[in-house]
Amino acid sequence: MNNAKPKRIEPVPEPAHGELELKFHVPEAALTSLRDALRAHGARSQRLRAHYFDTPNRRLARARIALRLRREGRQWMQTLKAEGQGIAHRMEHEARVVGAPGRVPALDVHRHDDSDAGKVLAASLQAAPNGGLVERFATDVQRLACVVRAERGSAVEVALDLGHVSAGQRRATIAELELELRSGPTQGLFDLATAWIRHGALWLNATTKAERGERLLQPQQPPPPVKARQPQLAHRSDGATVMRAVLQATLQQVISNAGLIAEGSEHAETIHQLRVGLRRLRTVLRELSALSPAIEPEWATVLSATFGRLGQRRDHDVVSAAVRPLLQAVSAPLLTWTPPEQVDPVAVVRDPTFQITLVQILALAHGEAAQFAELSPQATRELLARRLDELHRQVERDGRRFERLLLERQHQVRKRLKRLRYLAELTGSLWPGHAVQAYLKRMNAAQDALGHHNDVAVAAEAFRLDAVERPAAWFAAGYLQAHLSVTARAARKALVKTLDSKPFWR
């Protein structure tokens, strides 16, 4: 990197604004029609060569910050991006830099000092001087871009990027479509995205070019799954603010993990985290439906179907491992049942119906005021307290007689307990923190006990069905069926102990 003193820069108009952007992977079969459509809108091609910087210990990457110098035609641009509000929003600040075409100009972090993203950068670097930043990887893409006027009057910049990211001798292909709202109603952005999913079977992919470069630097480490994040809500948050925040928090987990799977990852933990995210999202749509009349009933149907298909693999891999010690202890002739026909998780998450549903829910998460109920902060907390209280009372009622319930009813108790926990996690920041954390901590034991009970029930049924073709499976089916009385008793005790204390919202 050239360490010469940078020359005076020319700021870009409105540099501190964030961007509302959707990113999609483009399958090979859709490339020709996508190029033709963009050219019909007057798209022009431009080569973009970017150099990404970070500290040797990856301070920026860990903070999900990207800092680059990019040659755009005849102009160098220094760009800083940081996390914004939700998966479709990022803080961004740009500054033009004077430099020669064939020489990377000096990087200067102070070009971003007056921006919101710059404050995040300064906090991440702390005492690290400018010299602590080194080039980590580079991208070279051919961009075909234009501005499209959507039906609602929105102006959306559409950019097709084809090329690669490189780190040393390693390379990874880039084939993505970016849709960025430039002006007008936000819904226009999501309408255009839906149209392109239907036309070209594109799928959402939240992986940035910077993250692709980081993966090349750590080729032996698979991309980590994205776990749940809890929104931090101000005490005076109204209904629309709460709904947007919880939707964005749940979609972050769902879209990130679905994108990893769509790229080919079939790691069990990534699939598990996607299913957790889907449960949380379904909880929001079900329990907080009063906060938005714009929620479509079919969303829950699509999410439930996707959740179920992904769960088929989990039932065999995870459940069989959970009951194996029980069967080994009694010398069962079979320790696992015949594996079912494998579901392809990649095909499940790439399904256009699922992808369109995610875009539609994402549109609501960034929706206008008219899409939400007009609830004051106090009315919002009262509504949430009623929903939490109803779930708590239902679980408490059935928990005290858990052993006497039919198996299907027991399963309903477990699902209701999960909804109670997710709703408490997502909205708990509206109440004093210590009371919320104590409540959630007490729920862990009950959820574990009900989870183990459910695993035994699922395995017992799987062995029973397997016994039609393999009679040796009858032993495991019978033993596990009898063992359900033991796990049901443990579940009841855990539930009563958990729910016998005062909830934080009362």
3-state SS of 188-211 is HHHHHHHHHHHHHCCEECCCCHHH
Q: Name, in order, each residue with C-beta under 8 angstroms of 444's C-beta and a sequence gap of 6 or more.
A: none
pLDDT of 131: 53
Bridge partners, 10 (sequence order)? 96
pLDDT mean over 168-175: 93
pLDDT recorded at residue 502: 84
The number of C-alpha atoms within 13 Å of 363 and in the hemisphere containing its C-beta is: 22
Name the β-bridge partners of 96.
Answer: 10, 77
Predicted confidence at residue 18, as pLDDT, reads 57
Q: Which residues make beta-bridge pairs with 315?
A: none
Are the C-beta atoms of 79 and 94 separated by less than 8 Å?
yes
Q: Is the dihedral of CA 94, 100, 102, 106 positive or negative?
A: negative
**Amino acid identity for residue 181 in this structure:** L
10 — pLDDT class (breaks 50, 70, 90): very low
Q: What is the pLDDT of residues 65-120, one digit of tens each?
A: 999 999 998 899 999 999 887 888 889 999 999 988 888 999 999 999 999 999 99
| Distance from C-alpha of 188 to C-alpha of 171, rounded to nearest angstrom | 35
pTM: 0.90
For residues 68 and 187, the answer to whether their CB atoms sit within 8 Å is: no
pLDDT at residue 282 greater than cutoff 90: yes
**pLDDT tens digits for range 231-246:** 999 999 999 999 999 9
Q: Retrieve residue 283's tokens.
A: 């909880």
- Tell me the per-residue pLDDT of 433-490, one tens digit each, with 9 for 90 and over: 788 988 998 898 899 999 999 999 999 999 999 999 999 999 999 999 999 999 999 9
List 20's β-bridge partners, or say none.
89
Q: Is 248 exposed, middle or buried (0-12, 13-18, 19+ CB in 10 A)?
A: buried
- Asked if 202 and 26 count as a contact pair (C-beta separation under 8 A), the reply is yes
Amino acid identity at 460: A
Q: How would you class 331 by CB atoms within 10 Å of its CB: exposed for 0-12, middle for 13-18, buried for 19 or more?
A: exposed
Mean pLDDT of 378-393: 96
Residue 313 has pLDDT above 80, yes or no: no
- Which DSSP category does 95 fall into? E
Pick 141 or 102 by higher pLDDT. 141
User: Cα-Cα-Cα-Cα dihedral of 34, 205, 93, 104, to 10°?
Assistant: -80
Q: Which fold has domain 16-221?
A: Hypothetical Protein Pfu-838710-001 (2.40.320)
Is residue 472 within 8 A of residue 334, CB to CB? The reply is: yes
Residue 505: the pLDDT is: 94
Residue 8 pLDDT greater than 60, yes or no: no
- Which residues are CB-neighbours of 139 under 8 A, at least 6 positions away? 48, 49, 50, 52, 163, 164, 165, 166, 174, 209, 213
Least confident of 13-22, 58-67, 260-269, 349-358: 13-22
Whether the Cβ atoms of residue 274 and residue 349 lie closer than 8 Å to each other:
yes
42: left (phi over 0), alpha (psi -120 to 50) or beta: left
Is residue 69 within 8 A of residue 107, CB to CB? The reply is yes
- For residue 12, the model assigns a pLDDT of 33
Pairing of strands 134-149, 44-54: antiparallel
In this prediction, residue 19 carries a pLDDT of 78
Query: What's the mean pLDDT in 164-172?
Result: 94
| DSSP symbols for 273-317 | HHHHHHHHHHHHHHHTGGG-TT--HHHHHHHHHHHHHHHHHHIII
CA distances from 211 to 5, 63, 166, 375 (A): 29, 11, 12, 39
Could you tell me what percent of the chain has a pLDDT over 90?
Answer: 78
Region of 167 (left: φ > 0; alpha: ψ -120 to 50; beta: rest) is: beta
Q: Write down the residue that tokens 């006497």 correspond to.
A: 404
The Cα 285–Cα 152 span in angstroms is: 26
Q: Report d(CA 382, CA 475) in Å as an integer.
A: 52
**Closest-CA residue to 375 (of 237, 235, 234):** 237
Q: How confident is the model at residue 11 (pLDDT cuts 50, 70, 90)?
A: very low
Q: Is the pLDDT of residue 5 over 80?
A: no
Alpha carbon separation from 269 to 10, 63, 272 (Å, rounded): 47, 22, 5
Q: Does 129 score more than 80 pLDDT?
A: no
pLDDT, residue 128, reads 63
Cα-flanking dihedrals φ and ψ of residue 395, to 5°?
A: -65, -40
Distances (CA, A) of 7 to 98, 140, 204, 324: 7, 25, 39, 67
pLDDT averaged over every residue in the chain: 91
Of 406, 405, 441, 401, nearest to 421 by C-alpha is 441
For the chain, give the percent of residues with pLDDT over 70: 95
Average pLDDT rounded to a whole number, residues 186-206: 94
Q: Is the pLDDT of residue 371 over 60?
A: yes
Please determine, for residue 420, whether its predicted confidence score (pLDDT) is greater than 60: yes
Q: Which pLDDT does position 127 carry in this prediction?
A: 60
Q: What is d(CA 214, CA 210) in angstroms, rounded to the nearest whole number?
A: 6
Give 341's pLDDT tier (boundaries 50, 70, 90).
confident
